[in-house]
Amino acid sequence: MLKITPYLWIIVLIAAIGGLWYPILGYMMLVVMVTLLTTSVFRGRWFCGNLCPRGSLYDFVLGKFSRKQNIPKILSSLWIRVPAIVFMMSLMVNRLSIALTTQNTFEKVGTIFASMCLTTTIVATLMGGYFSSRTWCTVCPMGTMQRIIGGKKHQLKMVHDACVNCKKCEKICPMQLSVREIGNNPDCIKCNRCVEACPKDALYF
């Protein structure tokens, strides 16, 4: 985790709420999308655990109110996640195509990004509040895209002989992954918390 990570959630509020009145702020969503897709080529879902504004919102704001229940396993299935990508991308493309044929296109496109950010943030907050704060990250279309593009990059490594089976790594994992059995898990968000929590320095990237 980077030092700036705990404060990035402010960007969500600026883009999702401010963007409805000042459409140019909605383009912050586009910047985030381009950045995460670019970094995924080299580090998989590293963006999710270090630079994602919504990930910061879930960890440092929503995490204080979440019920901290188990994330439903079905949400990690690609049978759920791929259709979610197709649906959301189709919806966005359709709205953008309409906006491009009207006047004030620049403002309307910015508003579309802002409204999508607001809508998905509300859904994610409800899911995170009821289950665990990072529930949305399990099914997130952008997170799934990062998994598909660079899921095998920058993987967590483990010195098995050094592990004392204390399970501290699994208790602290925001994605609720089986860290000690993680192997080549493309949904690891590389937040480094398990590495920092390990008393025997058995984990590393």
pLDDT in tens, 167-180: 999 999 999 998 88
pLDDT in tens, 75-118: 999 999 999 999 999 999 999 999 988 888 999 999 999 999 99
- Residue 109 identity (one-letter amino acid): V
pLDDT in tens, 54-67: 999 999 999 999 99
Per the listing, tokens 């759920």 go with 80
**H and E: helices and strands count for the chain:** 11, 2
- Burial zone of 87 (CB within 10 Å; 0-12 exposed, 13-18 middle, 19+ buried): exposed
**Pair 84, 120: CB distance under 8 Å:** no
Domain definitions of the chain by residue range: 5-153
How much is the mean pLDDT over the chain?
93
pLDDT at residue 52 tops 80:
yes
Structure tokens at 134: 């990072």
CB atoms within 10 A of CB 165: 6
Look up the pTM and report it.
0.90
Structure tokens at 86: 């197709």
The CA distance from 178 to 169, in Å, is: 9
DSSP 155: -
